[in-house]
Structure 1
């Protein structure tokens, strides 16, 4: 094996190991499924509170959505080859109704790791029904997500708010609007 292939293979395996470690936990909860669900739900509540603190418009949008998927810690990492994963919950009427895992794989010029909160709002009943009827939903294939590019104090346009599925991404630096989840797979979460 030549040196270049060795380095790329080693870096890729390191990225996979990092993601496997980061994504195999549910916030330190025990192996008890109820405790795992509670840990995810607690993280979802905290993420929503932080989102609402960042932008008051988000609270109105979440309240008017038919359902909201929240992934409090969507972790992406890699070097040349990478991936991302996180667990979250679908909320309807202010309560978690189901739990999901979102995963994504990527290849390209990338290096490092990042964690962000991802919020996917189903603004129409049709979009929510389509998501709930699937056993595995892929962003960009089964539905397009319009990411809201807002910062603190910026209003969301009426046109954006009328899209069937809109999203927010929240990093430690605040709201961002340039995230693309196309190709991300969202599947029902099974508990051990």
Structure 2
């Protein structure tokens, strides 16, 4: 009986995850929607973490994912679309996605801003056919306290990531294992 319940749970979880991944293109936002959400997300980031604006002024580019949805029940996944900004202008659109397996349950929505601090890191993103976080440029995730302590002498990494706007109940919002791929949304 216990084995049967486990199998049913695994099948239902797998089907739910598969349906979520299959329906992602149908839910894809337009470029206009992504840009509008990116503007709102940056406003939120700068109002809740004022030092992030200083980091942005030193960055070569900023990749903002305004809404990443993460959900899981043993098998989990996360996905979201974002805009790459250079000098305040969108130059490309990207999707971040990841899958996971393990002891997990819940759902969460959050935002991420990736600050590319040099041209080499930006070119790696733009020229790679999908960037798996953990390979390529070094990424340092900053919390509110760490972002406040950044100065021009401590900015030594290729990419800084700041999570913000978290809502929901699920442990962890790490980037490790996530893949960032360029997308081409409609207008």
TM (norm. structure 1) is: 0.84
What stretches of structure 1 of length at least 5 have no aligned partner? 28-35
When residues 152 and 184 of structure 1 are mapped into structure 2, their CA distance, relative to the original with a 3 A threshold, is: closer
Question: Shift of residue 158 of structure 1?
Answer: 5.3
For residues 160 and 79 of structure 1, what CA distance do their matches in structure 2 show?
A: 39
Aligned residue pair count: 180
How far the C-alpha of 1:10 sits from its partner, in A, is 0.7
Between the aligned partners of 1:157 and 1:103, the Cα distance in structure 2 is 31
The answer to whether residue 162 in structure 2 is matched with residue 150 in structure 1 is no
- Equivalences for 1:45-60 in 2 at 5 Å? 45-60=39-54
Cα distance in 1 for partners of 2:122, 2:130 equals 13
Per the alignment, residue 132 of structure 2 pairs with 138
**Equivalent residue, structure 1, for 2:164:** 170
Rounded to whole Å, the distance in 1 between the matches of 2:159 and 2:33 is 26
1:76 to 1:166, Cα distance in 2 relative to 1, 3 A: same
User: Contact (CA 8 Å) 2:52, 2:147: kept in 1 or not?
Assistant: no
> Deviations for 1:120-156, whole angstroms, at most 9, x for unmatched residues?
1110111111111112111001233100121599433
In structure 2, list runs of 5 or more residues that go unmatched: none
Within the candidate set 12, 15, 19, 1:17 is matched to 19
CA contact (8 A) 1:72 1:117 kept: yes
Alignment of 1:25-174 (within 5 A): 25-27=27-29, 36-151=30-145, 154-156=148-150, 161-172=155-166
8 A Cα contact 1:44 1:88, kept in partner: yes
Q: Which whole-Å deviations, capped at 9, do the CAs of 1:18-74 have from their partners, x for residues lacking one?
A: 4555674245xxxxxxxx101100000000000000111100101211011100001
What SS does the corresponding residue of 2:27 show, helix, strand or coil?
coil
Separation (CA, whole Å) in 1 of partners of 2:146 and 2:160: 17
For 2:133 and 2:144, locate their aligned partners in 1 and report how far apart those are by CA, in whole Å.
Answer: 21
2:36 aligned with 1:5:
no
Q: CA RMSD in A?
A: 2.4
Distance 2:91 2:36 in 1: 14
SS in 2 for 1:119: strand
